[in-house]
Chains A and B, each alone.
Chain A
């Protein structure tokens, strides 16, 4: 898709004020809003591909990145998104280990709020942390991942990658494979993809799929061959290596044998299948390098590129609401 890069007025005309102050959960997004956000993000993709990448849509606004958990890619993605829209960006990485949750998190929020940021991007190891912060600050809060709960901008960028690859998300069969239990990416994707009309499957060992996932409106498979048979998209999740010690899976070699994506299993998917991964990858554990690096089927690099564009779209929409207030 080669949309010409938009000018500032063009972007302004496409940007709609987001109906909510905060961006916490994929649950808050209606299908039309997602479509608008993806359209806007599409235009930012074109912008990001030209030499002059900078707009002054967020001029004068302060974006604060508050990452209690380390993250290189999401934090730099938000930082670039903010800077390309002309915001002042501050990165804060409080040592999560020295902070006890709950009260201290709120204390931090109150302190930061007094510095008058406009947009607060938060990542925290506890589910619900972003929502808690949102109750305590006057600015807009963007959830960049809270525990095992949600990572809504990841779901948006995944949807954008799929829409650009297939034309539309509606009707696609998407197999999300691996450690669903601990994955916020999976939860946000299940919600967003279903909102967009995709058929979602969850594939993994029963120890890594929540027992109640059957009721999420998805199909659950414990046999990967069955799970990815006929799938248009295979989305691999990262297996945290510390899961080996908790009796959740026996070993990396057994995991790769049954749940790792290799050519043999992938051959069962639909023709033209695309492979995705939210990163960072464990090559040889959940995915064969051979597949990850095959640009004909891997969307993994696209996902990173879409990440910046999607986050620009989210920030721009939130800022448009702030402008109207």
Chain B
């Protein structure tokens, strides 16, 4: 492949949380990496063979790192393929995605990790990293081949939406994974308390007549998980924390020095239980949407760093799984393409500094998983997104690139248009 021309982005608002910079900036991309950075509008002199892109004040940040993405590949390709997910990611400014292991077959042994990495290489759009299962078949009993999957390229260990109920099993998974330095993610939800629930227990769910689950189901499981993390000294990622009660537990554990990190989904930062409204199944999620107080507490926690990572929790579900009565509908929402504008809404509403919001989707998740991504530094891979943060956009679900169109943002007006996305210096998306 002939080397493409070096590219200079000038006149940008450069936001690089890793170096703490939010201000005028310019970047030169050559040979797939960041070749030079200026903390000003441009470079004093540029050689003639460099193609110059005038950003006109648009936001230039590291490409987003989304560590909780589901596709349907392998096993449920009609929902979403790696290719359709990668295209949606690129259009959303997401340059690295971490796939959940609950596919068919389950990613619980190294050959499936290999398969996914090979498919992703063939597609070649964005960086794809698989997460490996914690237990065989996600059954919560026997341990999966954590060490071999790590060697094959799995970046963290999780049973995705399956809870590991047996505390001894989770203890051993944490202990064993720690021996390899692997991060274990677990979603805190007591499966007995949440059985059959379609919404958060409370006045609203009871008026709608929907079976509800108390937020305490999250706190109970989280307290156990935190105690096991403290016991084993292992690194734990709390997957999609969603309520104020659980944030208290998280804070206490962090203050005690437990090695714990937490993610929140963009959906729980954007919507609350009232959005379910007239039984709209695109708002059926796991964990279910919470009350407004919880949403406010989550935003606060992202702003003050208690929550480390924001994820899209991209979970494609085709129409046949969503066009059902609320209780019977599949949970989950696609989100790769809406993650960035939805996150920018918190900035436009003046809820958090832009640099802190960007950190939660770039350097923080990258550092947590040890990925060479999420920062704009000389020599780093040129994974970049250029975004006009003021531009109004209207989300139309049918126009999203995911094969499944289950977006709760359908019809929403947001601000923030992705103009270009670069992965390793190569343009993988450009707005019309």
Binding site for B on A (CB under 8 A): 205-207, 222, 244-251, 253-254, 257-258
Contacts of A206 in B (CB 8 A): 175-176, 178-179
Contacts of A245 in B (CB 8 A): 141-142
Contact A207 B176 (CB under 8 A): yes
Contact B143 A250 (CB under 8 A): yes
Give the distance in Å from the alpha carbon of A251 to the alpha carbon of B111 in the complex.
14
Contact A249 B148 (CB under 8 A): no
Binding site for A on B (CB under 8 A): 135-136, 141-148, 166, 168-169, 172-173, 175-176, 178-179
- 10 pairs of A and B residues whose beta carbons are closest in the complex: A222-B179, A206-B179, A250-B145, A247-B143, A250-B143, A247-B172, A247-B169, A206-B175, A254-B145, A207-B176
Task: Tally inter-chain residue pairs, CB-CB below 8 A.
Answer: 48
Minimum C-beta distance from B143 to chain A (A): 4
Give the distance in Å from the alpha carbon of A55 to the alpha carbon of B166 in the complex.
58
Give the distance in Å from the alpha carbon of A249 to the alpha carbon of B136 in the complex.
11
Contact B179 A247 (CB under 8 A): no
Minimum C-beta distance from A312 to chain B (A): 41
Contact B176 A258 (CB under 8 A): no
Contact A247 B145 (CB under 8 A): no
Contact A247 B173 (CB under 8 A): yes
The majority secondary structure among interface residues of chain A is: loop
Give the distance in Å from the alpha carbon of A205 to the alpha carbon of B179 in the complex.
6
Contact B148 A257 (CB under 8 A): yes
Q: A254-B148, A257-B148 are in contact. Are A249 and B175 (CB under 8 A)?
A: no
Q: A205-B176, A206-B175, A206-B178 are in contact. Are A250 and B169 (CB under 8 A)?
A: no
Most buried by A among B136, B144, B145, B173: B145
Give the distance in Å from the alpha carbon of A207 to the alpha carbon of B169 in the complex.
11
Contacts of A251 in B (CB 8 A): 145
Give the distance in Å from the alpha carbon of A253 to the alpha carbon of B110 in the complex.
11
Contacts of B135 in A (CB 8 A): 247
Give the distance in Å from the alpha carbon of A257 to the alpha carbon of B143 in the complex.
16
Contact of B142 among A222, A244, A253, A257 (CB under 8 A): A244
In the complex formed, the residue of A with least CB distance to B135 is: A247
Q: A247-B135, A247-B141, A247-B168 are in contact. Are A207 and B175 (CB under 8 A)?
A: yes
Contact of A247 among B142, B147, B148, B178 (CB under 8 A): B142
Q: A222-B179, A247-B135, A247-B141 are in contact. Are A207 and B146 (CB under 8 A)?
A: no
In the complex formed, the residue of A with least CB distance to B151 is: A257
Give the distance in Å from the alpha carbon of A206 to the alpha carbon of B168 in the complex.
14
Contact B142 A250 (CB under 8 A): yes
Contact B144 A250 (CB under 8 A): yes
Contacts of B143 in A (CB 8 A): 247-250
Give the distance in Å from the alpha carbon of A257 to the alpha carbon of B175 in the complex.
18
Give the distance in Å from the alpha carbon of A247 to the alpha carbon of B144 in the complex.
8
In the complex formed, the residue of A with least CB distance to B168 is: A247
Contact A248 B148 (CB under 8 A): no
Besides A206-B176, A206-B179, 4 other A-B contacts (C-beta < 8 A): A244-B142, A249-B176, A250-B147, A254-B146
Contacts of B176 in A (CB 8 A): 205-207, 248-250
Contact B147 A257 (CB under 8 A): yes
Contacts of B144 in A (CB 8 A): 250
Give the distance in Å from the alpha carbon of A251 to the alpha carbon of B145 in the complex.
7
Contacts of B169 in A (CB 8 A): 247
Give the distance in Å from the alpha carbon of A319 to the alpha carbon of B153 in the complex.
61
In the complex formed, the residue of B with least CB distance to A257 is: B148
Contact A258 B142 (CB under 8 A): no
In the complex formed, the residue of B with least CB distance to A222 is: B179
Contacts of B142 in A (CB 8 A): 244-245, 247, 250
Contacts of B148 in A (CB 8 A): 250, 253-254, 257
Give the distance in Å from the alpha carbon of A77 to the alpha carbon of B148 in the complex.
40
Give the distance in Å from the alpha carbon of A207 to the alpha carbon of B147 in the complex.
13
Contacts of A254 in B (CB 8 A): 145-148
In the complex formed, the residue of A with least CB distance to B108 is: A250
Give the distance in Å from the alpha carbon of A248 to the alpha carbon of B179 in the complex.
12
Minimum C-beta distance from B315 to chain A (A): 27
Give the distance in Å from the alpha carbon of A246 to the alpha carbon of B173 in the complex.
11
Give the distance in Å from the alpha carbon of A205 to the alpha carbon of B176 in the complex.
6
